[in-house]
Amino acid sequence: MKFDKPATDNPVDRLKVVGQPRDRIDGPLKTSGSARYAYEWHDEVDNVAYGHVVGSAIAKGKIAAIDTDAASRAPGVLAIVTAENAGPLGKGEMNTAALLGGPDIEHYHQAIALVVAETFEQARAAAGLVEVRYQPQEGEFSLAEAKPGVTEPPEDTPDNVTGNFPEAFAASAIQLDQTYTTPDQSHAAMEPHASMAAWNGDKVTLWTSNQMIAWCHKELAATLKIAPENVRVWSPFIGGGFGSKLFLRSDALLAALGARAAKRPVKVMLPRPFIPNNTTHRPATIQQIRIGSDAQGHINAISHISWSGNLPGGTPETAVQQTNLLYAGAHRLTGLRLAELDLPEGNAMRAPGEAAGLLALEIAVDEMAEKVGIDPVDFRILNDTQVDPTQPERFFSQRQLATCLREGAARFGWQQRQSTPGQVRDGRWLVGMGVAAAIRNNLVDKSAARVHLEPDGRLIVETDMTDIGTGSYTIIGQTAAEMLGLPLEQVEVKLGDSDFPVSAGSGGQWGANTSTAGVYAACVKLREQVAQALGLDADEADFADGYVQAGGQRVALTEAARGGRLTAEDAIEFGDLDKKYQQSTFAGHFVEVGVDIATGEVRIRRMLAVCAAGRILNPKTARSQVIGAMTMGVGAALMEELIVDTRRGYFVNHDMATYEVPVHADIGEQEVIFLDEVDPISSPMKAKGVGELGLCGVGAAIANAIYNATGVRVRDYPITLDKLLAKLPALA
């Protein structure tokens, strides 16, 4: 189905099932322990062996020699895979570093061997017997030290220039020029990276934890140098990903190689300390922001330059993309700078670009509001725009940022905020409020599905879409139920199998809107088949309560499949709508914090997110996504930081004992409001993504609240006690 014009009325608009706060249909499986994750497919194959990964002990250099003799003689060992015996391997398009290193070492903990044994304990013990002699090389591990030598943008990422920023900035009545930093961060998903592989002749089946089935399928075939039709990938349940499972990773490849070498199915799980250094992470940034305005606060010049690092061949963190769109201003300059670092690969982590960029931009905007003497909410609304500032002829399909801010301010009690910092005390606590705007683009891509109407009236939906804990099963089921006029209980949703039609997958906040639109397209085709089978006019047919009605006739839906299952398959394709309109989602984030005047301890007291994200397909699962994202924003603001050993080139705190993330005690009251909005430009569902929007801007709102509470402006994340203590007001 080609969707190249705004949607008109369609069955989804009845909102009998879509748009309702339904419980997750996969919930009983998860709460009972029946949902099987990547390491738990015990019943699918027999005689499973276990693999344990050996990681590089250096960050850069070569393997001079690797001795596996002692390991191969250890009890239970079946096979040992290294780059020397793995056979010729290709390299997919989406991995910067090789997933099996040797002889070259590209980063610390790069997988260099897999030991396969009868039990996990035997594999782990034998892996400790692998002897490796290295030839280390000097590496570059510090973004701060590399930054002075990086002055030009990457060749394929030129600066985005509108007007004449230097001249306009110099002429501005009010000026801001500040630098902000964000650290390296880990995804820290609940489920570790894990896979099981089994070969049947020259065909391999992989059970894994992966957000993008089609990408994984293609990359595994390319890396193994086998035909794509000889690869099957399964990932029906994923215990969190946040971007770390977008791509083929070492656990999946090594499971396939280990199974081939051992001639039996093999499971591989990356131990928690492996994950930060062996997979991807959010790279650190150094961001310079300059803003100029007139005396009344109208922005006329804005510049945002961000430095980040990555392995050779990697890409920069796109931390300036929101600055191209969020505020008005005739003269603009944004650009990225990339330093080659020998740290593990930097790549997508929840809301890549905006999550890091808004941490800086939304502090800078608060600082400008203070310089001008305008309330931070009013300053943002003053500089709102309904067009893309870099292409004024291009309008936003929907943009209710100002409404988000006004609604949030009223609901949060913003009028009680003291504009002068450090004025509100609650016993030992200094209390402050902060605000930040949020934007996250609404990306659309082709997405397909297949639907079956069974003779007993059940509707089965098949698509390779994944559910990373976001509720994909439920909203896809709701869409199909609405389209065929069935109760949700009669819909069975099957996901995460590469034999199913290719969806857009889970990532970039595009999953909900595009996958349901693909199901919509398949259901439109099935409705046509049903009408034809019943001798009814498809254009007039109304599907409701298990019946089809048209031309004065009312026939049970099951009659259409009396002769056997009816099947329809289709995909949604979006044409050039994303070029005609700027499609984005918006939010206003409000936070109240308390800061202990003696210790500098920060406590989150209240949080509010007001979101404009098109039609909300399921308010219950959408709220769950947003409060989870808000919680991640607390981590980014206050605690999350991968500490780099700049001598040896690795992340020191590479486990959950030392990489701190928020827990329940860290989170106060959370409230989420969704504006009553539909966006007919976005898809037939009139929806957009929302999961990443809930994170964007949260950290800056916390930083701004801390400043309002204490008068201490911290521009280097995370905002830890040491950055506050020396500057707190004197005890009174």
Active site residues: 692
Whole-angstrom distance, CA of residue 644 vs CA of residue 636: 17
The residue type of 261 is A
Tell me the residue ranges of DSSP E strands in 1-147: 49-55, 61-67, 77-82, 104-105, 111-117, 131-136
Tell me the residue ranges of DSSP E strands in 514-639: 542-544, 547-550, 553-556, 566-572, 584-596, 602-612
Q: Which two tokens stand for residue 525?
A: 């085709």
Q: Which two tokens stand for residue 711?
A: 């008068």
Question: What residues pair up with 623 in beta bridges, in sequence order?
Answer: none
Whole-angstrom distance, CA of residue 695 vs CA of residue 132: 42
Whole-angstrom distance, CA of residue 452 vs CA of residue 522: 10
Residues 6+ apart with CB under 8 A from 442: 397, 509, 510, 513, 583, 584, 585, 614, 679, 682, 688, 689
Residue 250 has what DSSP assignment?
H
Is residue 311 a contact partner of residue 300, using CB atoms and an 8 Å limit?
A: no
Tell whether the torsion through CA atoms of 177, 692, 110 and 102 is positive or negative.
Answer: negative
* SS3 (DSSP) at 692: coil
Whole-angstrom distance, CA of residue 163 vs CA of residue 302: 11
Tell whether the torsion through CA atoms of 208, 211, 216 and 217 is positive or negative.
Answer: positive
Is residue 305 a contact partner of residue 295, using CB atoms and an 8 Å limit?
A: no
Whole-angstrom distance, CA of residue 467 vs CA of residue 237: 6
Cα-only R_g, the chain? 27
Question: What residues pair up with 194 in beta bridges, in sequence order?
Answer: 269
